[in-house]
Amino acid sequence: MSESSVREVSERWSAHWYAVARASSLGRDAPLGVVRLGQPRVLWRDASGTAHCADAACPHRGADLRLGRVVRGELECGYHGFRFDGGGACTAMPCEGRDAKPSRALCLRMHPVREAHGFIWAWLGGRGQGALPELPWLPGAPEPGPRAASVEAVWNARFTRVMEGMMDLHHFPFAHRRYAPSAYTRLEPFEVREEGSTIHTTGWLREETGPSGSGLHFDIRVGYPGVVHLRFTPRLQGAVVCTPIDTEHTWICARFRQDSLRVPVLGWLASRMALALEFGFIQPDDYRMVRHSLPRSGALGQGAMVRADRAIVAWHRLHEAALGQHGDTASAS
């Protein structure tokens, strides 16, 4: 990936909360390395268990801090042993002796972190002067618990195309024709509501001549930039977070929760099976189509949108506003 592509992702897209890892993936004994928004990041927990996030390049000579270790809650560089506390300050320079006082130039580039809803969230852009906004989590989306199961995936697809796919309803009988009723092609009734940075889509896929309110029901809420709440049935729900790794890849983490079974372990098993079906059979079809869509990035003005694409248009308008763009404005006819 070119340096200009890295700058595009890390600078223009970063002034938002993104889920960067599952909270359960970050222990106390070792750092967790990820690439998010085009840059290597390192996560670790201090002695109290609080999570921290920094750019992974050691300010000393650029060693990858993801290759280091955690010592009494401090991040230690694996190359020269320099240590850093939860605020990013260098606390030890072994080569200079125990009484050495590190300069401020040795501070890590830290990022604000929140741990909530089973994820580590990071604000990877500039902070400005005001307080940071609330997390883009959607009330009612499934939380971690004994009935919930999760899975992660990395798609070789751009973030904008992935988010389009998350909101697309009318592809179902075609992209998934092996499993879906092929006659359910008419998206009617269909409604898109926008509330700030949240897009709520409800609709029915039915037969062309079928009665209104019959067929497959969809209920999808999206919190910009990359949080999705899916209501499959009154008892089965899903939460999906999507975060750009770089311009060409997207990290996806899904959590399903089944509430119809009273015994928690059976609920977890049902959730796990639902995830296995979704990511073993349904999502590979979506991935194949999203990965090969051209151009690689989705945007307003690319493609002739129709009424059924109204949620996608709404998301792209939010995206353009967030990026400060003033490009073409597509309408959903």
- Cβ atoms within 10 Å of 103's Cβ, excluding its own: 10
**Residue 12, pLDDT score:** 65
**Residue 13, pLDDT score:** 75
**Residue 326, pLDDT score:** 39
Alpha-carbon gap, residue 283 to 294, rounded angstroms: 19
Each residue's pLDDT tens digit, 252-279: 999 999 998 889 999 999 999 999 999 9
**Residue 15, pLDDT score:** 87
Helices (H), the chain: 3-7, 159-167, 172-175, 264-277, 283-291, 310-323
User: What's the DSSP call for residue 25?
Assistant: G
Proportion of the chain in helix, strand, coil states, percent, rounded to 5: 25, 30, 45
**Residue 327, pLDDT score:** 40
Report strand pairing: 90-92 vs 83-84.
Answer: antiparallel
Q: How far is CA 298 from the centre of its chain?
A: 17
Domains detected in the chain = 3-123 (2.102.10.10), 148-323 (3.90.380.10)
User: Would you say the C-alpha torsion 197, 198, 203, 205 has a positive or negative sign?
Assistant: positive
The beta strands (E) that lie in 112-212 are given as 113-116, 119-123, 148-155, 186-195, 198-206
**Residue 11, pLDDT score:** 59
Judge contact between 120 and 23, C-beta under 8 A: yes
**Residue 127, pLDDT score:** 65
Each residue's pLDDT tens digit, 168-183: 999 999 999 988 889 9
- Cβ atoms within 10 Å of 119's Cβ, excluding its own: 27
Instruction: Tell me which residues of the chain have a pLDDT lower than 50.
Output: 1, 6, 326-333
Give, in order, the Cα–Cα distances in Å from 59 to each of 55, 66, 102, 120, 206.
9, 13, 11, 24, 58
Both tokens assigned to 248 = 């060409």
* H or E element in which residue 74 lies: strand 74-76
What 3-state DSSP class applies to 97? coil
Enumerate the β-bridge partners of residue 72: none
Contacts of 8 (CB under 8 A, 6+ apart): 38, 247
Judge contact between 194 and 317, C-beta under 8 A: no
